[in-house]
Amino acid sequence: MRSGNGGSGSVHFRREKYVPKGGPDGGDGGRGGHIILRGNAQHWTLLHLKYHKHIIAESGQSGSGSRSTGASGKDRILEVPLGTIAKRASDGEKLFEILEDGQEHNLLEGGRGGQGNAHYKSSTNQAPRYAQSGEEGREEWIILELKILADVGLVGYPNAGKSTLLSAISAAKPKIADYPFTTLEPNLGMIEYRELKSFVMADIPGIIENAHQGKGLGLRFLRHIERNALLMFMVPADTKDIASEYQTLLQELKQYNPELLDKRRILAITKSDLLDAELKELIRPNLPQLPYVFISSVSLEGIPQMKDLIWQELNK
């Protein structure tokens, strides 16, 4: 990205019919255009910027006679979704995060315009023949990173049924296949609830042990969890030890960022169409101590109860 250069100041003298030797009246140069990020709640991805790697703002115009200031360079305003983080590519330092609709941050300031020769007039120098050059704009590589903003984030191992659930209860159509890491990017789905209410659910790439160290999809997955109000842990009903798998998932979140444990959590036991009533009763005493629900994305068993539980937790 590169902001605009400032325009140069003007070297000019007042010349009129009856004033052949007027004083200096060179105007200032205009400032260069800024690079600005603006939050837009209507955007959900950064795809519209994918093919715009070089973003350059206009330079300011030079000043002119009669103390006329040059026009400022046009700002480049980049509309980004909420949850966008700007980082410096050279050292990875986080600069700021866009959290609100309409929020603006000046990413790269344009160069200042130079002063015209009118500024340099004095009693000892009544006809200065020089002016100030415009300041150069700033040029820097910036990384824009989006953390998905959703009400509910789905947490589970690969093939836990996260994508299947999202496709069954929303209009989202994530890729689904019977192998790990089918989901490589987060998917969002708008879930309809009662009385025209709704909430947003995020299907996030599956976690594995040591994801906090970058294993598997690692940090690409974990950073999105920070932007969810409620975490729904998903463990298949045919897992040998549901409580142990839940604790492993929880430990990965803790290793990445202990603050994630402050978020509300619920548990969904998926593929529950494999269980009869007797098996469910045998499983219940060994489940973790948090709100839970048995669901099946195939038969839609427990889906209404799951929505009720989510809505109840979101509004506590």
DSSP string computed for the chain:
-BPPPPPPPP--B--BTTBTT--B-PPPPPPPPPEEEEE-TT---SGGGTT----BPPPPPPPBTTTBPPPPPPPEEEEE-TTEEEEETTT--EEEEE-STT-EEEEEPPPPPPPPGGGG--SS-SS----PPPPPPPB--EEEEE---EEEEEE--TTSSHHHHHHHHSS------SSTT---S-EEEEEE-GGG-EEEEEE-PPP-TTGGGT-TTHHHHHHHHTTEEEEEEEEETT-S-HHHHHHHHHHHHHHH-GGGGGSEEEEEEE-GGG--HHHHHHHGGGS-SS-EEE--TTT-TTHHHHHHHHHHHHT-
Whether 33 contacts 68, CB under 8 Å: no
> Quick one: 304 and 162 in the same domain?
yes
> Quick one: 125 and 156 in the same domain?
no
Domains: count for the chain: 2
Q: Select the more confidently predicted residue: 175 or 17.
A: 17
> Quick one: 290 and 267 in the same domain?
yes
Q: Select the more confidently predicted residue: 36 or 185.
A: 36
> Quick one: 264 and 249 in the same domain?
yes
> Quick one: 98 and 173 in the same domain?
no
Residue ending a domain, among 146, 177, 206, is 146
The pLDDT value recorded for residue 224 is 66
- 296 by Cβ neighbours in 10 Å (0-12 / 13-18 / 19+) ranks as buried
Q: What is the pLDDT of residues 14-52, one digit of tens each?
A: 888 777 778 899 999 999 999 999 999 888 778 788 788
Give the residue numbers spanning the domain of 2.
1-146
Report the CATH number at residue 252.
3.40.50.300
> Quick one: 128 and 173 in the same domain?
no
Q: What is the pLDDT of residues 55-66, one digit of tens each?
A: 999 999 999 988
The answer to whether residue 212 scores a pLDDT higher than 70 is no
> Quick one: 155 and 77 in the same domain?
no
> Quick one: 154 and 291 in the same domain?
yes
Report the CATH number at residue 106.
2.70.210.12
Q: What is the pLDDT of residues 223-282, one digit of tens each?
A: 667 777 899 999 999 888 999 989 988 887 888 777 888 889 999 999 998 888 898 898
What residues have CB less than 8 Å from 239, skipping those under 6 apart? 245
Residue ending a domain, among 146, 166, 195, is 146
Residue ending a domain, among 146, 180, 207, is 146
In angstroms, the CA 130 to CA 195 distance is 72
> Quick one: 166 and 224 in the same domain?
yes
> Quick one: 131 and 156 in the same domain?
no
> Quick one: 85 and 1 in the same domain?
yes
> Quick one: 203 and 294 in the same domain?
yes
